[in-house]
Amino acid sequence: MEPRIQSKNGKSWSKFSRMMNDDNQDTFRNVSRSPGLQIWTINNMQMVPVPAQAFGNFFEGDCYIVLNINENKGSGQTADIHYWIGNTSSQDEQGAAAIYTTQLDEYLGGSPVQYREVQGSESPRFRSYFKNGLIYKKGGVASGFHHVDTNVYNILRLLHVKGRKHVTATEVDVSWKSFNKGDIFLLDMGKAIVQWNGPESNRREKLKAVMLAQDIRDRERGGRAQIGVIEGGEEQSSPELMKVMTAVLGQRSGPLQEAIPDDAPDQVQKTNVKLYHVFENSGNLVVQEVATQPLTQDLLNSSDCYILDQGGSSVMVWKGKHSSKEERREALNRATGYIKAKNYPSSTTVEVMNEGGESAMFKHLFKSWREKGQTQGLGTTYSVGKIAKVDQVKFDVMELHARPELAAQQRMVDDGSGDVKVWRIEKLELAEVNPSTYGQFYGGDCYLVLYTYQISNQQQYILYMWQGRHATKDEITACAYQAVNIDNKYNGAPVQVRVVMGKEPRHFLAIFKGKLIVFEGGTGRPGVISPDSGPRLFQVRGTNELNTKATEVLARASSLNTNDVFLLKTDQMCYLWYGKGCSGDERVMGRAMSDVLSKQDKQVVMEGQEPAEFWVALGGKAPYASDKRLQREEPPHSPRLFECSNQTGRFQMTEVEDFAQSDLDEEDVMLLDTWEEIFLWVGNLANEYETKEAWNSSLEYLRSHPAGRDPDTPITFVKQGYEPPTFTGWFNAWDPHKWSGGNSYEEMKTKLSDAASVSQITVDLSNANLNNSPGGVSGGGYRAPGGPVSSFPFSKVQVADLSPRSSTPTSPSTPRSQPSASMTLSPSSSLNQSFVDGGTMSPSAGGSGMYLDPQLLLNKSPSELPQGVDPTQREVYLSDLDFENLLGTKRADFQRLPKWRQNDLKKKAGLF
């Protein structure tokens, strides 16, 4: 029975539809098509832009539209539109956000992918825009939307921070009752932010919380706030900061709440994938099942729309380019209707895409995917029959070293000219293989191949673990065990690669210089005589020494293929058979391989001119693959990164969208899927259980992949600090020195402590007015960037201003224009005092705020800087005009750049 879903949501939908008129085009005339992030909130059914300093702040009572435009090398711009639904937002606002999303998609030409996001269940892609976390604020814009200046200190709020990879911070009541032992809390008082770490929180969570606190300070306060950190299990070590906490929250009575368990993560991979055809019938939406996994691209018809359901974890809508305008416009509404009909949670992720603008995730669910007009590129893989054929482009080794992205695409660290050493597993121990037989691998054996090469005069190692198809389980286990022993001898430097017989990676072929022969069975162990198995047939693939191998196949006529070279070895003769479809280069490599395989006389046999004894040796003439060459290009799939962790008590994998080197967590194992191979990256602080489980999980990941992946895909084991270019090339701007001085939690905390020693965070308790009335301060409330004035219990503390310019304490009746907490500074910290008082250091800087002449900051050593200037944040002391002139970007855009890019701009400007 086909499910039928009501197509429209009655009067409400009609009301929203009337919004789609020409007047609304004005809304989009200010939409920038430049790469970057743009955000709007829905206010009185209109799209209102959110200022950049408020990005990452979301009011629970609102809906938002988020547009992200990417500039991709070679493929131009891509865009993603998300509409975010707050937990307490109204149906009208949700409907308006959906309509505007569809309208914005049409305005941008229909190419963006649309996503529906629900508070607390955001997609990894959405979260990737806000690397330091999402902040959920109470209230909404119903009381009026306000653009707020960056330097606003009239704030008192408590943020409950959760998450290790994807951080969320939710406003909770400013009370000790809100705390628990397992999470982290930020007490934000405008000019002071105190981070309290639950005694059961881990180091990674603490680091992410510090980064969030710094992000609030830098974006919302213009860098003018002090941050202090309290370890919840060692509160006595931070007496001054605890005075602040007590002044605001009162004395703590009773024990803290127990830790709240983290939410169970969604399964990364749902194998139950189904494709449905969606169409209208008498005003009802009909959803008809078309196919289950593995899916193929030819199931999608350009004149129709489809829903792809990934086991209920996500719903994707595909709109054919020839489907009707009405169908395309209704896509989001149909997806939500489908979710209701299936009784899926309202938080289910929804993606809507047009033909030609499919998301990487969508393509990953299909067994093969070919882009229109896709052309052959470097390292392109072709499949003929069952064995992949690699069309290798001549390359320069130095170019591979200089361009890791080329090394990654080619799957080549060099041209295979390094040193090679081979061992075979014999009686579960290592036995060296005679170099004269290097390149000969038997299906009954396991081998270890250590490859040594140099980059920048440094030794690099790759350890290949080759597993024969007929090797025993004990031998395979011993191979892995001995690999660990070799790895230990080289202090963990080798990159380990699991190679399954017949699935040898490109570089493995290259190191044997066109002499790689894979025997189906038997052993290469000395003294073991293989029984006479009669004639043997080998298929030769390759055009040069870098990409050639010979694979033993059944000695039957049906094994032949008109596109290849074959070697038939009998007791008396070695036949060199050339198929009509093979090239001159392939014939040359076939001849070279025949000399390795046999010392006997060679007889060249052209297809169609075979002597009778040739067919007799193969058991008689029989049909074989004789179609003219059909080269099928393997699709270039986008790489995907996953975090493998058991920090929450059980092993789990979580995807990281829009990944960068900074997403590689030193405490975890990360899985990078480039489709042709799997990388397991092991952080220096990853525990042994995670490392062990990562191997098993990578095998399970391949086995359960909905696109029917090859379970023998090569798996490469990489350790932090020893990454080969085939791995680093998948990351933009890899920094090889990152691991020598990264921002660990301890380092960041020490840095903050140093700052606090200059400007202690204190509260003048003698002047504090502890007002416990629930109504809070008269005329209270606060303005936070990106949202309204929202009432909040500003009840616990009223603090004096202790600045030298005003020795008289502020009266409680004075209008609250002063900060909610003041800083006590050492007499020598004149520059920091100017920060607190908002003074201007240089009249020439123009405008209010504290600015310095750039000449005082440029190319100066830390000792040459004005007293109190933080040498790591010199850009904070520039006026907006000087900032833009020196760094070539606006302050808000600079803050959204990754850290390495910020540092690069600062170095070029002389501010580092």
Q: Is the peptide bond before 294 cis (omega within 30 degrees of 0)?
A: yes
Measured CA to CA, the distance from residue 222 to residue 781 in angstroms comes to 21
Secondary structure class of 68 (helix, strand, coil): strand
Q: What pLDDT was estimated at residue 645?
A: 65
Q: In what order do the strands lie in the sheet with 349-354?
A: 4-6, 284-292, 273-281, 305-310, 314-319, 349-354, 113-118, 76-85, 63-72, 36-43, 46-49
Q: State whether the Cα torsion 866-870-871-874 is positive or negative.
A: negative
Contact 27, 884 (CB under 8 A): no
Q: What pLDDT was estimated at residue 765?
A: 35
Measured CA to CA, the distance from residue 96 to residue 621 in angstroms comes to 71
Q: What pLDDT was estimated at residue 267?
A: 42
Contact 446, 476 (CB under 8 A): yes
H or E stretch covering 383: strand 381-384
* pTM as predicted: 0.54
Q: What pLDDT was estimated at residue 27?
A: 74
Q: What pLDDT was estimated at residue 770?
A: 36
Q: Write the secondary structure of 141-186 as one string of H (helix), E (strand) and C (coil).
A: HHHCCCCCCCCCCCCCEEEEEECCCCCEEEEECCCHHHCECCCEEE
CB burial class (10 A; 0-12, 13-18, 19+) of residue 524?
buried
Radius of gyration of the chain (CA): 32
How confident is the model over 484-524, as pLDDT tens digits?
999 989 988 899 998 988 888 889 999 998 899 999 888 88
Secondary structure class of 745 (helix, strand, coil): helix
Q: What tokens does 609 get?
A: 């001119």
Residues (pLDDT < 50) of the chain are: 1-15, 20, 22, 143-151, 264-270, 373-395, 629-635, 741, 755-759, 763-849
Residues 6+ apart with CB under 8 A from 519: 440, 441, 442, 443, 552
